[in-house]
Structure 1
Amino acid sequence: MAYPILLNPFFLFISLFILLMHLPIHQAINGGFSVKLIRKNSTNAHSHKRLRDITQTNSFAYLGEYLLELFIGTPPINTYGILDTGSNLIWTQCVPCDNCYKQLAPLFDPKKSSTYTNISCLSTKCKLIDTGVCSPENMCNYTYGYGDSSITQGALALETITLNSSTGHSVQLNKVIFGCGHNDTGTFNDHEMGIIGLGRGPTSLIYQIGSSFGGRKFSHCLLPFNTDISLSSEMSFGKGSEVLGHGVVSTPLVSKGDINLYFVTLLGMSVEDTRFDISNNPETIRKGNMLIDSGTPPTILQQKLYDEVFNEVRKRVPMNPISDDPVLGPQLCYRTLTNLKGPKITMHFEGGDVKLTPIQTFIPPKDGVFCLAFTNTSNEDTGIYGNFAQSNFLIGYDLEKDVVSFKPRDCTK
């Protein structure tokens, strides 16, 4: 999820930012594996119907988030968590959960799983979470806070997690560190059963998978917002997930202390042929000034850069923006019955340019309205590259080479 930022009403579904061993694989697989992100609309997303004719890990999109399907425990229980490169903990809501947000699917009951094991507060695994504390029973409890005051609290435990792979076989991961949330509050909706942290930290899913599938790397191809719900986004882990070939842009990852996430350096942006640099002096640009976060829908820019892009886009769209909608607020929105033909926007990253089309930069929050999928922050140190801008790109994260790579692709095919 993303940095704590105050947003206007249109982007209330934005995510937040958390500050915060290699596990045995039950079934050895040669090379990597892929999964699908199931897409369902708000009327049927709670059905959790398995897609039996696909062999990749499942997820679906709802309210701007991409949900990853996995199975927790023995016997395995269906769980859908937010696919989140902006955090490092896997957690789901658990029984008992008296002070939790509403969830449509049944809660995970650790007492019904034969492979559930609480982590002792004396274990080194408990120390992997900054807020790990001892319970009266000497078990490791955690409190995991988010920037908008959302919180998950519960027991840190070990459990079996199963994914459906593209080979048609299940991939079973044993003794995965995860949070069993017993007190969860905040901005979550009733389709989200937790969060699947995919950051660079030791409790994230990708870190715990390790190099067992041919390297600590993964990639995803996210479908654009408002795409046909019968289509699925795709995600791959390990060997075969590399982003290669013509048109690939790679940018180096930047380490920022103990915040183990995907920071890259943005040099500036262009609206068509008009460029706005973050600094006139490249030597003064803050390295790692942009967090790539699949759990945050809009792209969040530092105030000055946002104002420049906002004003230039407004000048180049030959329509009058909406100014009388209290829900949309100060967002740059237009009424049109067809897809908005907005200007092309280029992200100038260290290492190369990522060119965005209106599919990634304007999203329809309601019929007949298109809004600029950017917003602003007063945080001058770090912005967020959200999942709207990531759609229709194959994006690869290589934790061994410390690079993120982008390749334009029609993710509906």
Structure 2
Amino acid sequence: MPKIAYDCDVLVVGGGIVGLATAYAITRAAPGTRVTVLEKEPGVARHQTGRNSGVIHSGIYYRPGTLKARYAVRGAAEMTKFCAEYGIAHAVTGKLIVATERSELPRLHGLVQRGRENGITVRELGAAQIAEYEPEVRGLAAIHVGTTGVCDYTAVAQHLGEASGAEIRYGARVVRIDRRPERGVAVLTARGDVVRARVLVNCAGLYCDEIARLAGDEPEVRIVPFRGEYYELARPELVRGLVYPVPDPAFPFLGVHLTRGIDGGVHVGPNAVPALAREGYGWGVVNPREAAATAAWPGVWRMGRRHWRYGLGELRRSVSKGAFVDAVRRMLPAVEETDLVPTAAGVRAQAVLRDGGLVDDFLIREGPRTVHVLNAPSPAATASLPIGREVARRALGALADA
């Protein structure tokens, strides 16, 4: 058999923060490994990485022992240190999680216990103590988490890409993958380029399930896109830092919250509504093929039957600004409808199982010469450095076996 001329050792599909952290970790762990990143956009971090609230999560929400819990707690400290070391805009602000109804108090106490199990220091607050941190916020009780912060994740992604030494090819949408265990992986891009690699790492985010199927691996999940709609607070002086409601444990979203970003502005949101395209950043963005593929997955209908009441509330907040304002007023009574100015939305890639279950943890699967990141939910950006090391470890293992 003639010797194959590989263009790289590891080919990473996806130039978001997880893909770039993986490239960075590979070249740190195994100097000399040739890494190429294919990104379909003209720059990095154009989707989930660059369209979120920029929060460095503490890890308080996540069940002890899960990858999310381990990676978030470790990742928050590492991300803060990384930003400080490389001069990337960031701030450790702390945050409040506020209970506004008596029914939320047991869940708030449960978060205190969970935080302590995860090694996170929290302070429990009575109603009168909330004003020490947020004078305009009202609630029956709250907890303060001091390790939460914010940063510029787009700048983090850009630095990871540069520091990795990887070749990053922009405008390189993958349309075909030919994988042969004895010959490696050949990837064809939409503009006709062919890239040959020993190992492929799939960090394609919103398209990770499609990339897995192109490679010949059945992911056993489908990505269902949920749009998160945001407003900007016209009176940012109403909020000092980060303010969150007590989350509903039945759904993997944190509810409408208030986030003072590194630019001093305050984001309000997001809600979570089904998108009609994987990059459906507005109701007017519809991709019939993608919408039909989502509707064809049995898990979508089972999910809908299970969570329809929650979903109706999210849809109501999407179509009614007044309903969105009402959700905010539960914590911030001073807010007026005129205070909320629409701003850019994001889309979350939520992996859904065939039985309708929502994958709530990181999901990484391996095939011959492939590693697929099939679910990278919040706190993926926070935890990107430890996630990158884990994916890199698997990729280098596959490379050693190739």
TM-score band w.r.t. shorter chain: under 0.3
Q: Give the alignment's TM-score, normalised by structure 1.
A: 0.24
Q: Give the alignment's TM-score, normalised by structure 2.
A: 0.24
> Which structure has the highest strand share of the two?
1
> Which structure has the highest helix share of the two?
2
Select the structure with the greater relative contact order (CA < 8 A; seq sep ≥ 6). Answer: 2
